Amino acid sequence: MAFFSHPTALGCIYQAQFTPFPQKTVALVLTSIEHGIEQYTSGNFDGTMRFSKGYKDRYTAHLNALKKYEEERLWKTYWKKLLRDGLVHAGAQVEKPRAESATEVEATQAEIDADMARLAEEELDGFVDSSDIEFEPTAEEE
């Protein structure tokens, strides 16, 4: 599968988005497999059959079938196994869950402005720029 074809494939780089493995992705894969099989129904490949809007109902049917099992314990274990198997296939490392980084936290402009005002009052009182900082000479400079 393209999401895990090599260590820098999307599924490997964005592991957090694939944990648990998205049902929408599985539904898309199932629909793609169905389309591929249909291209050979005559016994020969028919490249004129396009993956078009006509497959939307099939995709939806696959997705609805998958959603019926989303709360099953065994099924949740299987979703995790799908991710691990994909990473092993790609030769990628499993990322350990990490704390939210500052770049992933969303803040409104009002919250940013309030924080900047608080910093200016409490921590940067009287600070204009780095040119007003006086450094003490080191032993080598004396």
Kindly provide the b/e burial profile for residues 48-87, where b requires at least 16 CB atoms within 10 angstroms of the residue's own CB.
eeeeeeebeeebeebbeebeeeeeeeeeeeebeebbeebb
Phi-psi region of 6 (alpha: psi -120 to 50; beta: other; left: phi over 0): beta
Q: Which pTM does this prediction carry? A: 0.56
The rounded mean pLDDT for the chain is: 79
Place of tokens 């600070």: 127
d(CA 14, CA 9): 9
Output the pLDDT for position 75. Answer: 79
| DSSP codes, 12-73 | HHTGGGGSSPPHHHHHHHHHHHHHHHHTTTTSS--TT----GGGHHHHHHHHHHHHTTTT-H
At 82 the pLDDT is 84
* 33-66 confidence digits (pLDDT tens): 999 999 999 999 988 888 888 889 999 999 999 8
CA separation for the pair 21, 128 (Å, rounded): 50
